A and B are shown apart, each in its own frame.
Chain A
Amino acid sequence: MCNACGFPTRPGHWTDAGATTSGDRLRLQLRRVDVLNKILRGYGFSARTPGHGPGFALASFTGRTTLLPDLETVWEEAAQQLGQPLDPLDPRFTRSVTSS
């Protein structure tokens, strides 16, 4: 656990499996922010890495930025601010896309 911020309080989120070296972990975190933004953008949110450790910084349409330890808490926080969960099966994401 990080002494400064107390993260992560829980054992790693399941999504953190699959990267065992520090290089892989960093790459995974950066790649994830890209993917995360594809779903967040449609709802007025954006995410970036907090710059100093694991997790994500979630900025919302109100200008509020929240530091969150893992993906689970990102969905939770977004759902709370929005009043409903972000749904990957929302029609905006399931319209046929031509594979590039």
Chain B
Amino acid sequence: MSDGRVTATPPVAEDTRLRLTIIGGYLGSGKTTWLRHQLFEGVFGKAHIIVNEAAETPVDDTLLSAQASGMTMLAGGCACCTGKADLVAVLRRLCDARTSLRAEERTQGQIILETSGLADPAAILDAIRQDGVLVHHIRVTEIIVLVDALNASDQLRTEYLGRAQIEAADRIIVTKADAVPFSILGRVAATAQILNPAAQIMAATKGQLVPLQDFSAALPFDLPIISGNEPVVPTKIDIGDDVDWATFSVWLSALLYARGADLVRVKGVFRTPAGPILIQAVRKSVQPPELLPLEAAINQNKMIFIGRGYIGDDLRRSLDFFAS
């Protein structure tokens, strides 16, 4: 520093990237209904809505546009595969428009992406990370996945996609809670928790949150193995003091490269020379780590791995090998 001052900890730079919330869920799980109610209640503030429909003719846009600050319709291709280029183009345009705003206006807006029922949210996350422009301008704050209480048992039994959506979620909302008895609601929630042990689970009826009773005793649905996909298992690793950031980052990046398809989620806070950072990965895709304020890092150096195809203890042993 030119003025000769010495600061012990450099101030954490504010993350000014545009926030993006991804809303996923199987066909007919109630994404538009839920989103419309949230917009009505002002949960997302001034948000630009992007709605993706796999079908050629859009129907959702008229329902939503009343409450949004802006609205883009992406029809005729699912944004996680065939419509990926369109989604990237729209997001780039939004980022572009934002740069012409005054600095204080920039902090307000956010984007809500309602995916098509056929989309895998993890693939969308990956598309954003792979794009050299978007990765600088967009921060995915949350993946919310809606699960239809009425149809979940059938879908999850047979559809790989339904499970993949749940696995990618930060928050799971069981919809149509009034349409099934409490016992079934509990079973749906318990099944979702097995598929994604790290996610927060809530229930809603027509977009309004309803209390979800304790479902820890509920019997989850049978989840037969679909095309070799065994259920995921969570592993928590306490990182010892002998593991520094260099070791951990090399190890984790190698692990994600080799086992990314099997590692559904990795999440935790790690102590680095620059301060505690939040690490989040969904399959092979790692979000740009966020530097956290020092006091926010109570649970640092604990990592959660959720995945399949490996033994949890092997993760510990392998990390120990690289740390020794």
Asked if chains A and B come from one complex, the reply is yes
List chain A positions with a Cβ less than 8 A from chain B: 9-11, 13-15, 17-21, 24, 27-28, 31-32, 34-36, 38-39, 71-72, 75-76, 79, 85-89, 93-97, 99-100
The reply to whether B321 and A32 contact each other, CB–CB distance below 8 Å, is no
Please give, as numbers and ranges, the residues of chain A lying within 8 Å of B324 by CB-CB distance. 97, 99-100
A9 to B130, CA, bound (A): 12
Knowing A11-B132, A17-B289, A18-B289 are in contact, say whether A93-B270 is a contact too (CB < 8 A): no
Instruction: Name the B residues within 8 Å of A36 (CB-CB).
Output: 250
Contact A31 to B246, CB < 8 A, known contacts A14-B289, A89-B315: yes
B287 within 8 A of A: yes
B211 lies within 8 A of chain A by Cβ? no
B258 shortest CB reach to chain A, Å: 4
Interface 9-mer from B75-83, B153-161, B170-178, B271-279: B271-279
Q: Separation in Å of the B279 CB from the closest CB of chain A?
A: 8
In the complex, the answer to whether A18 meets B273 with C-beta atoms within 8 Å is: yes
Known: A18-B274, A21-B10. A94 touches B253 (CB 8 A): no
Q: Contact string, B249-293, partner A, CB cutoff 8 A, digits 1/0?
A: 111111101110000000000101110010100000011110100
Chain B residues contacting A18 (CB-CB under 8 Å) are 245, 249, 270, 272-274, 277, 289
Residues of A within 8 A of B321 (CB): 38, 93-95, 97
Report if A75-B289 is in contact (Cβ < 8 Å); known contacts: A31-B244, A96-B317.
no
Assembled-state Cα–Cα distance A39/B254 (Å): 9
Q: Is the interface of B mostly helix, strand, loop or mixed?
A: helix
Q: Which residues of B contact A95 (CB under 8 A)?
A: 317, 321
Q: How far is the CB of B280 from chain A (nearest CB, A)?
A: 10
Sample of 16 more A-B contacts, CB < 8 Å, known A15-B252, A94-B314: A15-B249, A17-B272, A17-B274, A18-B273, A19-B245, A19-B272, A20-B10, A38-B322, A75-B257, A88-B255, A88-B318, A88-B322, A93-B321, A94-B321, A97-B324, A99-B320
Chain B residues touching A, range:
35 or more
- Cβ–Cβ < 8 Å partners of B257 in chain A: 72, 75-76, 79, 85-86
User: Could you mark each residue 5-44 of chain B with 1 if its beta carbon is under 8 Å from any beta carbon of chain A, else 0?
Assistant: 0000010000000000000000000000000000000000
Cβ of B247 under 8 Å from chain A: yes
* B249 and A88 within 8 A (CB): no
Measured CB to CB, the nearest residue on chain A to B321 is: A93
B17 to chain A, nearest CB (A): 11
Does A17 lie within 8 Å of B277, measured CB to CB?
yes
Given contacts A18-B272, A28-B246, A95-B317, contact A87 B258 (CB under 8 A): yes
User: Bound state CA distance, A17 and B289, in angstroms?
Assistant: 7
Residues of B within 8 A of A28 (CB): 245-246, 273
A24 touches B274 (CB 8 A): yes
B182 at the interface (CB under 8 A from A): no
A35 and B251 contact, Cβ closer than 8 Å, known pairs A72-B257, A93-B321, A96-B317: yes
Given contact pairs A17-B289, A18-B277, A97 touches B250 in the complex (Cβ within 8 A) = no
Contacts of A100 in B (CB 8 A): 324
A15 touches B253 (CB 8 A): yes
Considering the chains assembled together, what is the distance between the CA atoms of A31 and B322 in angstroms? 12
